[in-house]
Amino acid sequence: MQMDEYCLGSQAVWLDGELLPATLVIRGGVIESVLSRDGAAPAGLPLLDLGEAWILPGMVDTQVHFREPGFPEKEDLESGSRAAVAGGMTAFLEMPNTKPLTVDEASLADKVARATGRCWCDFGFFMGATEENAHRLHELEVLPGCCGVKIFMGSSTGSLLLADDDGLRRALSHGHSRVAVHAEDEGRLRQLKAALEQADHPRWHPRLRDPECARLAVSRLLEASETTGRAVHILHMTSAEEMELLRALPKGVLGGRVSAELTPQHLLLEAPACYEELGWRAVMNPPIREAIHREALWEALREGSIHILGSDHAPHTVEEKGRPYPTAPSGMPGTETMLPLMMDQVLRGRLGLNRLVALLAEEPARLFGISGKGRVAPGMRADFTVVDPGREWAVDEALLQSRCGWSPFHGQRLRGKVSHTIVRGQVVYENGRFATEAKGRPLDFDHAH
């Protein structure tokens, strides 16, 4: 359905923290007004009535690797965004470790051009921080289509590595927007790799990248953030030790200058069982850890110490992943299954719907300054993620949209299914069917937030 002006109604629209009966008047890609369910809609406007389905604010995946340019056999912007909208995502923020790296005006402009009109939802791209461009990051982060800066403290690609504190502080000192950080300590990574040369099975992965590796990096990052005053967002946290560092922050810093992210993989998979059962499918960086860490993540998530869920969608082909450990690349797909996996947790009573909406809609918009997103209210973008809470289904690799064609959650039965994804008022996905034309465009960002 492609309409510029219409009404969208349901018995369960997410309004000010509740699911309420309502009808939304949509004009020109924006919510014009919110009406009571039994009120009279403007004359002449068609009504898309979604019955009992939940109309939620448009969800955002703030951490994806769509591999274009450079690695089309794994994924590209079209296929990755198709997977995203099938999973209920109305926008994505994509990482800079492509080929070439996204580290200057030309590489960013190339990505924006590739994505515009090809992606199924709207988008932003991170600018990668390097030793060479650190002094220019304040200029690069405000370019059209740029959502901010990404720093790799360890486990990086090419020049995308700021392993020492001087380089880290230099990058944080240039610019204003929140910086996303992969926080693993490069020195510790190298020590562990040298000490564990006998590693020959994925079960070794959490030892090659142990909790101390994460704790050291996060501790250094927090110190650099305090010194420079720069807001930082710590990606894919994995350990109990990191959660303790978050809790020790002064009141107002956590959720302000410092924000934190988890992935569904680290919440739902557990070592060592996942490495024995899934083998290479369970290998990602940072690694899936043991139960004591997983429970610490859940506790932090429920108490509000975590602000965003990101998929860390990082696809590789089955052939690549099937190489002997540790030569196989790390990473797994996830943008299409992130919301379904976590909605299942909501419907099973393990997580509140209010927390899920905050993690995937409200906080991404607030922390990354995404204009017009995060709430269902007049004047906001008409971006909606619609879920059928009564539907049960199973993850099936044969039906996934990602080009890599596999998932660590294959066969898992879930409650709740994405029925519609609506971007700027246009239904781009409806019960397995896509719109006739992709119309994705760059998001608008408030870089002074």
pLDDT at 443 over 90: yes
pLDDT tens by residue, 92-145: 999 999 999 999 999 999 999 999 999 999 999 999 999 999 999 999 999 999
Check: CB of residue 122 under 8 Å from CB of residue 428. Answer: no
Distance CA 145, CA 91 (A): 12
Task: Give me the torsion for CA of 338, 262, 192, 162, rounded to 10°.
Answer: 110
Q: Which of 61, 312, 344, 383 is catalytic?
A: 312
312 labelled catalytic: yes
pLDDT at 1 over 60: no
* Res. 37 pLDDT band, cuts 50 70 90: confident
Closest alpha carbon to 233 in 9, 449, 12, 7: 449
Task: Give the end-to-end CA distance of the chain in Å, rounded to a whole number.
Answer: 35
Dig out the tokens for 419 from the structure.
């029925």
Question: Largest alpha-carbon pair distance within the chain?
Answer: 73
Distance CA 216, CA 163 (A): 12
Check: CB of residue 90 under 8 Å from CB of residue 59. Answer: yes
- Given this model, what pLDDT does residue 43 score? 82
- Given this model, what pLDDT does residue 197 score? 80
Distance CA 433, CA 431 (A): 6
Quote the distance between the C-alpha of residue 272 and its chain's center: 25
- Given this model, what pLDDT does residue 44 score? 87
pTM above 0.85, yes or no: yes
- Given this model, what pLDDT does residue 42 score? 84
**Domain 57-367 bears CATH identifier 3.20.20.140:** yes
| Average pLDDT, integer, range 224-236 | 98
* Res. 448 pLDDT band, cuts 50 70 90: low
* Res. 449 pLDDT band, cuts 50 70 90: low
User: Do the domains 5-55+379-434 and 57-367 sit in the same CATH topology, yes or no?
Assistant: no
> For 192, what's the count of Cα atoms within 13 Å in the CB-facing half-sphere?
20
- Given this model, what pLDDT does residue 389 score? 98
For 295, residues 6+ apart whose C-beta sits below 8 A from its C-beta are none
Distance CA 443, CA 144 (A): 9
Dig out the tokens for 59 from the structure.
């969800």
Pairing state of beta strands 426-430 and 413-423?
antiparallel
Please tell me the CATH code under which domain 5-55+379-434 is placed. 2.30.40.10
pLDDT tens by residue, 360-369: 999 999 999 9
φ and ψ of 347, to 5 deg: -70, -15
Check residue 350 and report its DSSP letter.
Answer: S
Dig out the tokens for 127 from the structure.
């600018």
- Given this model, what pLDDT does residue 38 score? 77
pLDDT tens by residue, 231-278: 999 999 999 999 999 999 999 999 999 999 999 999 999 999 999 999
* Tokens 């990505």 belong to residue: 111
Give yes or no for a cis peptide into 69 (omega within 30° of 0).
Answer: yes
Q: How buried is residue 94: exposed, middle or buried, by Cβ count under 10 Å (0-12/13-18/19+)?
A: buried
Distance CA 347, CA 336 (A): 18
The ranges assigned to domains in the chain are 5-55+379-434, 57-367
Pairing state of beta strands 146-152 and 122-128?
parallel
| Average pLDDT, integer, range 49-64 | 97
